[in-house]
């Protein structure tokens, strides 16, 4: 056993949360009970582990401890006699081993969380809470809503699952076909939260990013029965090609490194190969969708050995396709970045200024960069400040601050003779 | 098993269908009801007489009152319902899809409270 600080213990706990809670929900068929029991086990872990060290199998320890706590709860609540009898039959303390996609507890749980009888914002929130182990405060932050609102949303969804008896079971082929789109949408959002965390504590959440990839692979394997829709491959490729750049994305000092400045030799070649193969397969099937197009854009980026070799015309053409399917201001903003490379920052700025995504840090950051390239340093400085004010992410803030610094102070510029 | 109420909601603006359409609907709903019964899911169900035939009774005050008309001023009202037994919401939703197609109206699915069963 190794002794660890409380922060490190919290990291272990967060990484194991989804697996443990999904197993408990399978055993007890009750989300609230599973969460309460795990909560108690976590309190004990946070007391003991910093002194005694983390046990060799933290997920197993948490499962066993939470399982006992859940049985204690059931014993105390005589009303739940029937459930107690069921649970007592399952008192084996063995750790549920991952045995493939269909018996995967977490995969079952995501189909429960993404049930069409739940409102979409609740689906994403529940998945992040139960499978991602995010706190209610973190989820609220990610969706820019007050914490009390998010807490109510999650509580209401859990109450509906319990009262209306939304089942927790392996989805059949008909369910998969009907719910796949919703599940993919949630996995995409979970990956995004892992790729660039919305919290002030982490640049990214690798556990979430990896979990999203793992679940997408699992969904892909169970959707083969309905001919594995190409959007599943598209989403997986999109995740893999984004993940491939991870080793080059964050500098030693914790600041974000933008695509044009990344050391491309540090990209993960295996992930790129796998992602490119999926994109080629999607092209062959010729049924484009939003995830496939975004994956193709990533494929063009990761094809270039040097940023200067990027095929921007191809990227702009792909964004044009994406705009047809998803005419949102965020897609338009990303398209404008390609336009800046093709037609110059002046043309791109006119597009960006028309979008008015004032609560969205990348909008301010893109504007700032275009203003900088146009030599409008004072405007750029204000735009960087606005970008910093709209993001909590420490790596993004560090990068934006360094960009702003590189402009030099307003007075020093005026006083410079160079 | 959980009991679910499948409610068929009508609005005051709904046009009265022709006799022929009504007969056809009674027949399909009848077949659906038979299927529910054979599957052992049927608890109770039926179509309600027009909303104008309702009377509201309120005995929460000192003296019970009896008033002509529905309780709510809402434009939507209950037109008919089924109460079924189902293993979970997915099964209830499956029956609701068939019921909705049979009666030609949207169906609201709502579980009974555990404590009342």
What is the length of chain A?
A: 418
Of A115, A164, A167, the CB nearest to B111: A164
Of B2, B87, B89, the CB nearest to A117: B89
- Residue A106 and residue A192 share a domain: yes
CA angle, A381 then A385 then A386, to 5°: 115
- Give the ipTM of the model, two decimals please: 0.84
Name the E strands within A192-238. none
- Output the pLDDT for position A3: 54
What is the domain extent for residue A335? Answer: 329-418
* Residue tagged 């402009």 (tokens): A407
Q: Does B90 touch chain A (CB under 8 A)?
A: yes
Backbone φ and ψ for A113, nearest 5 degrees, come out as -60, -30
User: CA quadruple A247, A248, A252, A254: dihedral positive or negative?
Assistant: negative
Q: Which of A118, A164, A174, A177 to substitute to test the interface with B, most B CBs within 10 Å? A: A164
Residue A328 in tokens: 């949102």
- Output the pLDDT for position A84: 56
Give A293-337 pLDDT, tens digit per residue: 999 999 999 999 999 999 999 999 999 999 999 999 999 999 999
Q: Is residue A56 part of a domain?
A: yes
The answer to whether B113 contacts A115, with C-beta atoms less than 8 Å apart, is no
Q: Which CATH number fits the domain that encloses residue A39? A: 1.10.1740
SS3 state at A412: helix
Q: Is residue A277 part of a domain?
A: no
Number of domains in chain B: 1
CA A381 vs. chain centroid, Å, equals 30
Q: Which of A122, A128, A131, A112 is nearest to A149 (CA)?
A: A122
Q: In A, which residues are within 8 Å of B88 by CB distance? A: 165-167
What is the helix (H) or strand (E) element at residue B56, kind and residue range?
A: strand B55-58
Q: Quick one: three-class SS letters along A18-42?
A: HHHHHHHHHHHCCHHHHHHHHHHHH
- Output the pLDDT for position A412: 43
DSSP string, B6-33: EEEEEETTPPPPPHHHHHHHHHHHHHHH
As a whole number of Å, the CA-based R_g of chain B is: 16
Q: Which CATH number fits the domain that encloses residue B49? A: 3.30.70.1060
Query: Cβ(A348)–Cβ(A336) under 8 Å?
Result: yes
Q: Which CATH number fits the domain that encloses residue A336? A: 1.25.40.10
Q: Does B54 touch chain A (CB under 8 A)?
A: no
Residues of chain A with pLDDT under 50: 1, 92-102, 411-418
Query: Cβ(A301)–Cβ(A248) under 8 Å?
Result: no
User: CA quadruple B43, B49, B50, B53: dihedral positive or negative?
Assistant: negative
Give the side-chain half-sphere CA count within 13 A for B44.
3
Nearest-neighbour CA in chain A from B46: distance (Å): 22
What is the domain extent for residue B94? Answer: 2-116
Number of domains in chain A: 3
Q: Is residue A23 part of a domain?
A: yes
- Output the pLDDT for position A414: 42
Start-to-end CA distance of chain A, whole Å, equals: 61
């Amino acid at each position: 056993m190794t002794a660890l600080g409380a922060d490190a213990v919290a990291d272990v706990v967060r990484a194991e949360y989804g697996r443990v809670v999904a197993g408990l929900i399978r055993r007890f068929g009750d989300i609230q009970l599973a969460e309460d029991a795990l909560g108690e086990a976590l309190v004990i872990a946070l007391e003991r582990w910093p002194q005694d060290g983390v046990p060799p199998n933290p997920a197993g320890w948490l499962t066993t401890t939470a399982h006992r706590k859940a049985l204690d709860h059931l014993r105390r609540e005589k009303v739940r006699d029937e459930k107690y009898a069921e649970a007592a039959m399952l008192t084996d303390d063995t750790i549920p081993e991952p045995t493939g996609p269909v018996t995967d507890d977490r995969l079952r749980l995501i189909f429960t969380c993404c049930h069409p009888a739940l409102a979409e914002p609740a689906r994403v929130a529940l998945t992040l809470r139960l499978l991602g182990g995010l706190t209610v405060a973190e989820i609220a932050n990610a969706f820019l809503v007050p914490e009390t609102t998010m807490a109510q949303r999650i509580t209401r969804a859990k109450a509906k699952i319990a009262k209306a008896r939304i089942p927790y079971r392996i989805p059949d082929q008909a369910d998969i076909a009907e719910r796949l789109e919703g599940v993919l949408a949630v996995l995409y959002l979970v990956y995004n939260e892992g790729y660039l965390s919305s919290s002030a504590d982490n640049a990214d959440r690798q556990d979430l990013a990896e979990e999203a990839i793992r679940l997408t692979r699992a969904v892909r394997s169970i959707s083969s029965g309905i001919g594995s829709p190409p959007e599943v491959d598209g989403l997986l490729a999109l995740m893999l090609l984004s993940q491939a750049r991870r080793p080059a994305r964050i500098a030693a000092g914790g600041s974000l490194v933008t695509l044009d400045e990344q050391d491309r030799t540090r990209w993960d070649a295996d992930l790129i190969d796998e992602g490119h193969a999926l994109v080629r397969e999607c092209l062959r099937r010729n049924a484009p969708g939003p995830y496939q197009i975004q994956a193709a854009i990533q494929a063009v980026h990761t094809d270039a050995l040097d940023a200067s070799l990027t095929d921007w015309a191809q990227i702009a053409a792909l964004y044009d396709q994406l705009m047809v399917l998803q005419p949102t201001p965020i897609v338009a903003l990303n398209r404008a970045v390609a336009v800046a490379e093709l037609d110059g920052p002046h043309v791109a700025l006119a597009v960006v200024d028309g979008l008015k995504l004032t609560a969205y840090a990348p909008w301010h950051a893109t504007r700032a960069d275009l203003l900088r390239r146009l030599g409008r340093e004072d405007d750029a400085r204000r735009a960087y400040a606005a970008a910093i004010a709209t993001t909590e992410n420490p790596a993004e803030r560090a990068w934006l601050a360094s960009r702003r610094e590189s402009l030099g102070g307003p007075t020093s510029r005026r006083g410079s003779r160079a | 098993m959980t009991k679910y109420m499948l409610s068929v909601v009508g609005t005051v603006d709904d046009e009265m269908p022709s006799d022929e359409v009504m007969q056809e609907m009674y027949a399909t709903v009848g077949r659906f009801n038979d299927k529910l019964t054979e599957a052992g899911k049927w608890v109770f169900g039926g179509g309600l007489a027009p909303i104008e035939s309702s009377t509201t009774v309120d005995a929460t005050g000192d003296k019970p009152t009896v008033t002509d008309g529905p309780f709510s001023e809402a434009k939507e009202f209950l037109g008919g319902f089924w109460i079924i037994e189902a293993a979970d919401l997915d099964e209830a939703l499956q029956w609701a899809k068939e019921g909705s197609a049979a009666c030609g109206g949207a169906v609201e699915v709502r579980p009974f409270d555990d404590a009342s069963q």
